[in-house]
Each structure stands twice: as structure tokens, then as C-alpha cells.
């Protein structure tokens, strides 16, 4: 399992945190450790999930990963 903290642009409130957490939790082989305004700390199986998949889930919530 790889652990990574993703920097996220556009988050400003608790609703943003919950939206990102909800989308990341939909992904299989991903463990969401923490989501805060501006970042998400996740663990994921690199053989089954890539960083683009994580970024796509965050974009689905309406935000953008800025360290990809």
C-alpha cells in the first residue's frame, strides 16, 4: 500500500471535505485516512489504483488535485 497526501484546490468548507471524502470512499482498494480543507491523505494499492483515478474522483466532487 502506498500512502500519499494529495493537495486539493478549491475546497473551502466542511461540505467540501465531506464531498471529497464521499467520492474517495467509493473507490475500491483505497483507504481514506484523513480529508481536510486543501488536502486528502489516502492509502492505496498501486497495482490496482493509480493517482489519476484518485484525481478523477476528486474532480467528480468538484475540486482539483494540484500535485499531480
Q: Where are the domains of the chain?
A: 2-65
- 65 bridge partner residues: 8
Q: Which CATH number, 3.30.70.1150, 3.30.70.100, 3.30.1360.70, 3.40.50.720, labels domain 2-65? A: 3.30.70.100
Query: Per residue in 16-65, pLDDT tens?
Result: 999 999 999 999 999 999 999 999 999 999 999 999 999 999 999 999 99
Specify the pTM.
0.90
pLDDT at 67 over 80: no
- CB contact at 8 A, 43 and 54: no
Number of H helices, E strands in the chain: 2, 4
pLDDT at 65: 96
Amino acid at each position: 500500500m502506498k500512502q500519499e497526501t494529495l493537495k486539493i484546490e478549491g475546497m473551502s468548507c466542511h461540505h467540501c471535505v465531506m464531498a471529497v471524502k464521499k467520492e474517495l470512499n467509493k473507490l475500491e482498494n483505497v483507504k481514506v485516512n484523513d480529508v481536510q480543507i486543501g488536502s486528502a491523505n489516502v492509502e492505496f494499492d498501486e497495482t490496482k489504483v493509480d493517482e489519476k483515478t484518485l484525481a478523477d474522483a476528486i474532480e467528480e466532487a468538484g475540486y482539483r488535485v494540484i500535485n499531480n
